[in-house]
């Protein structure tokens, strides 16, 4: 079939997301998939039991538009306990169909034509298209490999009258870096007295390594009052396919957010929400995630240490960046595809997260996998 008239694409430069492309290629070549970020192990049995209970209970119809209230209450309690913030569960939290829709809704609800939104590249690939669909402009600040550190003086130079939003992401996907309290202080200085809204993508909040603390904007009242904070249950409970996340924002921002959410998603899978509300009571499950993933990080790093890949620092997330510049001078997309076809291991090329495809010969591996998977993958790529 073909649409009979000429179609003027709203996103002419957007193709299929790299996560779908690489996962499909991995499948086609029967490769170990370390590309798209998702665990290859099952969620906690107690969580599955809660799902079954909810299904057999009376929870099979629409959840409230903003989300199952006990779940929002547990999220508010957690925000208070971990970040010292007082969040109103009724008016300042909305349950979303994952982190990506939460980001999309936040952008759609406040960005207008010609508004500028500052992003840090390598930037998660949904940010810029969401901005551009509103008629806004994505302004890329390119973080430099291998440190991917933010120079706030340079960010300052990107700010002008049209700057409406800054999107931060900590721990950062794909670089694995984290923002520190000094970064938060700089961001606070930079936005003081302005109308700039922040999206703080914190979906990897419980995957921070080496005893470091996750710096949430929620811990900084001056930032929290201008922020949409994004959370994800998929990352924390090994359930990326359930697609449940949330957004926390001050009442007036959340009010705008819900105007969009109600006509897009309306409400999210009720069963999963009831189960997450129960499981959030078990604090140890999210508190032990740091060390759970740190072991995997260390295992994977050790396994490829003697290869010709150069490992970059990994302070958080379940992603490890490596440079392959000693192995090949191919472009990263070509290298990642060839590695999938010939070595049977798929990874994500990092250049796709830059506006102008800045290519530093760096690829991203996901280590949210069983040790055996990581071992087999390491054996295959160590021969490169
Ligand atoms: N967040 C995941 C990643 O970075 C992918 C999510 C998706 O495929 N949309 O790999």
| Phi, psi torsion values for 143, nearest 5 degrees | -80, 140
Supply the range of the domain harboring residue 293.
18-43+287-381
* Residue 246 covered by a domain: yes
Assess if residue 128 is contained within a domain. yes
Query: What is the pLDDT, as a whole number, of residue 38?
Result: 98
Q: What CATH number did the domain enclosing 348 receive?
A: 3.90.1150.10
Same domain, residue pair 168 and 199: yes
Q: How confident is the model at residue 377 (pLDDT cuts 50, 70, 90)?
A: very high
Q: Is 240 in the pocket of ligand 1 (CB under 6 A)?
A: no
Whether residue 36 sits in one domain with residue 115: no
Coil, helix or strand for 274? Answer: helix
Statement: residue 6 has pLDDT above 90: no
Cα(144) to centroid(ligand 1), Å: 22
Q: Is 173 in the pocket of ligand 1 (CB under 6 A)?
A: yes
CATH number at residue 103: 3.40.640.10
pLDDT digits (tens, 9 = 90+) for 219-241: 999 999 999 999 999 999 999 99
Per-residue pLDDT tens digits for 67-98 = 999 999 999 999 999 999 999 999 999 999 99
CA of 230 to the centre of ligand 1 (A): 15
Q: Name the residue among 101, 104, 93 with its Cα closest to residue 66.
A: 93
Share of the chain above pLDDT 70, in %: 100
Centre of ligand 1 to C-alpha 35, Å, is: 9
CB count in 10 Å sphere of residue 212? 13
What confidence tens digit (pLDDT) does each residue in 175-209 have? 999 999 999 999 999 999 999 999 999 999 999 99
- Give yes or no: residues 124 and 272 share one domain: yes
Of all protein residues, the one whose alpha carbon is nearest to atom 9 of ligand 1 is 19
Confidence of residue 383 (pLDDT cuts 50, 70, 90): confident
Number of residues written out for the chain: 384
pLDDT tens digit sequence for 284-338: 999 999 999 999 999 999 999 999 999 999 999 999 999 999 999 999 999 999 9
- Confidence (pTM): 0.98
Residue of the CA atom closest to atom 10 of ligand 1: 37
Residue owning the nearest CA to atom 7 of ligand 1:
19
pLDDT at 168: 99
37 lines ligand 1 (CB under 6 A): yes
Question: 189 CA to middle of ligand 1, Å?
Answer: 32
Total number of domains constituting the chain:
2
75 located within any domain: yes
The mean per-residue pLDDT over the stretch 130-139 comes to 98
Q: Which atom number of ligand 1 is nearest to the Cα of residue 23?
A: 8
- Do 115 and 230 lie in one domain? The reply is yes
* Ligand 1 pocket test target in 27, 37, 245 with most atoms within 8 Å of CB: 37
Q: Is residue 6 part of a domain?
A: no
CA of 37 to the centre of ligand 1 (A): 5
**Closest residue (by CA) to atom 1 of ligand 1?**
37
Q: Does residue 144 fall inside a structural domain?
A: yes
Closest-lying ligand 1 atom to the alpha carbon of residue 203 = 1
Res 243: pLDDT: 98
19: Cβ below 6 Å to ligand 1? Answer: yes
Counting other chains too, the contacts that 215-219 makes at CB distance below 8 Å and 24 or more residues apart are 215/170, 215/178, 215/179, 215/180, 215/181, 215/183, 215/184, 216/82, 216/83, 217/168, 217/184, 218/79, 218/83, 218/84, 218/85, 218/87, 218/248, 219/83, 219/84, 219/85, 219/184
Residue 10 lies in a domain: no
pLDDT 10s digits, 255-290: 999 999 999 999 999 999 999 999 999 999 999 999
Note the helical H segments in 171-306. 181-191, 221-224, 233-236, 251-264, 270-279, 283-287, 289-304
The answer on pLDDT for 5 being more than 90 is no
Largest CA distance in the chain: 59
Question: Can you tell me which atom of ligand 1 is nearest the CA of 235?
Answer: 1
CA-wise closest residue to 231 among 356, 76, 369:
76
What is the band of 4 on the pLDDT scale with cuts at 50, 70, 90? confident
Which helix or strand (DSSP H or E) is residue 153 part of?
A: helix 152-158
259 and 149 belong to one structural domain:
yes
From ligand 1's centre to the CA of 36, what distance in Å? Answer: 5
Asked, for residue 80, whether it belongs to a domain, the answer is: yes
What distance in angstroms lies between residue 347's CA and the mean position of ligand 1's atoms? 12
Same domain, 244 and 135: yes
* Pocket mutation for ligand 1, best pick of 19, 40, 233, 242 (most atoms within 8 Å of C-beta): 19
Looking at per-residue pLDDT, the higher value among 6 and 127 belongs to 127
Are 162 and 248 in the same domain? yes
Per-residue pLDDT, averaged over 92-116, amounts to 98
Q: How far is the CA of 83 from the centre of ligand 1 (A)?
A: 26
End position of a domain, from candidates 225, 260, 281: 281
């Amino acid at each position: 079939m073909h649409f009979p008239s000429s179609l003027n694409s709203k996103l002419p430069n957007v193709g299929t997301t790299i996560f779908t492309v690489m996962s499909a290629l991995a499948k086609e070549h029967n490769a170990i998939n370390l590309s798209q970020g998702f665990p290859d192990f099952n969620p906690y049995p107690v969580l599955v039991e809660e799902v079954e209970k909810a299904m057999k209970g009376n929870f099979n119809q629409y959840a409230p538009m903003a989300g199952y209230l006990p779940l929002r209450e547990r999220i508010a309690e957690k925000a208070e306990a971990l970040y010292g913030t007082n969040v109103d569960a009724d008016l300042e939290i909305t349950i979303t169909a994952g982190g990506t829709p939460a980001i999309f809704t936040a952008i759609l609800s406040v960005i207008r034509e010609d508004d500028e939104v500052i992003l840090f590249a390598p930037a998660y690939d949904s940010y810029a298209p969401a901005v551009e669909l509103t008629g806004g402009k994505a302004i890329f600040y390119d973080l430099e490999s291998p440190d991917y550190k933010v120079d706030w003086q340079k960010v300052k130079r990107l700010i002008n009258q049209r700057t409406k939003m800054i999107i931060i992401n900590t721990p950062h996907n794909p670089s694995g870096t984290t923002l520190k309290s000094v970064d938060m202080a700089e961001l606070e200085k930079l936005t003081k007295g302005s109308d700039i809204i922040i999206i703080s993508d914190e979906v990897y909040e419980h995957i921070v390594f080496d005893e470091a603390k996750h710096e949430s904007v929620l811990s900084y009242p001056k930032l929290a009052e201008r922020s949409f904070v994004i959370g994800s249950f998929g990352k924390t409970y090994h359930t990326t396919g359930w697609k449940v996340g949330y957004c926390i924002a001050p009442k007036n921002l959340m009010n705008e957010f819900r105007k969009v959410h109600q006509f897009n998603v309306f409400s999210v899978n009720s069963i999963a929400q009831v189960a997450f509300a129960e499981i959030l009571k078990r604090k140890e499950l999210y508190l032990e995630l740091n060390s759970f993933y740190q072991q995997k990080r260390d295992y994977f790093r050790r396994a490829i240490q003697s290869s010709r890949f150069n490992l970059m620092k990994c302070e958080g997330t379940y992603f490890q960046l490596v440079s392959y510049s000693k192995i090949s001078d191919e472009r990263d997309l070509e290298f990642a595809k060839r590695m999938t076809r010939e070595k049977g291991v798929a990874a994500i090329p990092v250049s796709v997260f830059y506006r102008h495809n800045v290519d530093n010969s760096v690829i991203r591996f996901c280590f949210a996998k069983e040790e055996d998977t990581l071992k087999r993958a390491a054996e295959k790529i160590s021969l490169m």
